[in-house]
Structure 1
Amino acid sequence: MNSSPAIEIETAPNPQATLIVLHGLGADGNDFVPICNELDLRAIGGVRYLFPHAPERPVTINGGYRMRAWYDILGTDLVRREDEGGLRESAAAIAAMIDAEIARGIPASRIVLMGFSQGCAMTLMTGLRYPQRLAGLVGLSGYLPLAALTAAERHGANADVPIFLAHGRMDPVVPIARAQDSRTALQALGHPVEWHDYPMPHSVCAEEVADLNRWLLARLG
């Protein structure tokens, strides 16, 4: 999937948990390293952070310009025209990363999948379909892709996986209504969703990091 390997950071030898963090459109794995440096998860032991880079691909909404993207964005309507092929290709690659972490000795129940914007979409797409129970899913400033197919395609192992969703109330990129629709759809499927919204645009804020820190400690403690 990637032209370069994921950035890997371990906070201590013999990590006890893994966070796989998926960046947004046009960024790369470096984007969320500073945010994760603000998390304090020492109470659960060492943590391995993985920051993969999406492949470069032409993005239709940006005039076909090539950039790192987990899937193509075909237009401003994020519901009616989705790049199903790109979504499924990236979901398979991210699931393989989870498989590799399990092979390295981290149980699925100690792995959190997390993403921002497109990375949020990939987190929900991949995590709900993964065949082993994960510790949790974190979706920041994004939405549930292929929403109409989720009920039929999700795996029973993650039928009640805890989900942290956060969004900016002034987000001009992914309107908060889209995220609220995703929250409602996930709750209707029985997922325990912890929802937060903040007075910010398409970004991350300090209060959000603090809320996420507390949620991660509860999931992994």
Structure 2
Amino acid sequence: MSNNIYQSGNLDNPTKALIMIHGRGGTAKDIMGLAEYLNVSDYLLIGPEASQNTWYPNSFIAPISSNQPKLNQALELINQGVELAKEKGIQPENIYFLGFSQGACLTLEYTSRNAQKYGGIVAFTGGLIGEELTRDHYNGDFENTPVFIGTSDPDFHVPVERVQETTKLMRELGAQVEERIYPNMGHTITQEEIRIVNETIFK
């Protein structure tokens, strides 16, 4: 297992796991600190960490080739986190994902490329990756997995149009997406978003 994956929370007898993916400039410890505000006290927490605090070099709406090989390496590290949860006997329907900013983009990209019944997916300010969305990159069936995507309008890094495209595509893959677009929220995570995900996903 990669030494770039951190674990905390319920390490002994977890039945659920939350994979938490940090943003550009962040760390696993940063994003895992958010668990204090979520209803996940009995979850195994898994925090992949990017080398040099960035998952891929360019904008998430740049051509995918311009973010390789880092993008594929990032997706593989997330997959290692999923495998770690499975090794502890946790089924995919009890595996949850959460990411912020660059981590939100990766959260959405990984789960949509591997759509199946998950516990839930939370993306604080992000969208699917690529200059344009290529439908055949994404397959599977989310089987009504609950998804929350929250973002600001405007957001300097994440165009609202890409968030809306992402919601549409994930719904086509069978996800139950709650999309919230907040006027002038800024590039952050709000108490309102935390409240919603606690009520709808980590319930």
Q: Flag whether TM exceeds 0.5 (same fold).
A: yes
Equivalent residue, structure 2, for 1:39: 38
Equivalent residue, structure 2, for 1:191: 175
Asked whether 1:182 is paired with 2:166, we answer yes
Q: Is the 8 A contact 2:108 2:128 kept in 1?
A: yes
1:50-78: CA deviation from partner (whole Å, max 9, x where unpaired)? 1221122xxxxxxxxxxx211121x5xx4
Q: Is the 8 A contact 2:139 2:173 kept in 1?
A: no
1:77-114: CA deviation from partner (whole Å, max 9, x where unpaired)? x4343324322221122112101210111111100111
Equivalent residue, structure 2, for 1:50: 46
Q: State the AA in 2 paired with 1:171.
A: D
Asked whether 1:210 is paired with 2:195, we answer yes
CA distance in 1, matches of 2:97, 2:138: 15
Q: 1:22 to 1:213 in 2, by over 3 A?
A: same
Q: 1:126 to 1:29 in 2, by over 3 A?
A: same
CA distance in 1, matches of 2:69, 2:5: 22
Q: State the AA in 1 paired with 2:165.
A: D
Q: How does the TM-score come out when normalised to structure 1?
A: 0.78
1:148-203: CA deviation from partner (whole Å, max 9, x where unpaired)? 33x32334253653321111234222233332232233334443211123341010
1:36 CA drift (Å): 1.4
Q: 1:99 to 1:72 in 2, by over 3 A?
A: same
Q: State the AA in 1 paired with 2:48.
A: P
Q: Is the 8 A contact 1:165 1:196 kept in 2?
A: yes
Q: 1:11 to 1:38 in 2, by over 3 A?
A: farther
- TM alignment of 1:13-162, pairs within 5 A: 13-41=12-40, 46-56=42-52, 68-73=53-58, 78-82=60-64, 83-130=67-114, 133-146=117-130, 148-149=133-134, 151-158=135-142, 160-162=144-146
Q: How does the TM-score come out when normalised to structure 2?
A: 0.84
Structure 1: runs of 5 or more not aligned: 57-67
1:41 CA drift (Å): 3.8
1:20-42: CA deviation from partner (whole Å, max 9, x where unpaired)? 00001111112223321011245
Alignment: residue pair count: 199
1:115 CA drift (Å): 0.8
CA distance in 2, matches of 1:216, 1:191: 13
What is the aligned-residue identity percentage?
26
Equivalent residue, structure 2, for 1:201: 186
Q: 1:37 to 1:11 in 2, by over 3 A?
A: farther
CA distance in 2, matches of 1:12, 1:211: 26
Q: 1:153 to 1:197 in 2, by over 3 A?
A: same
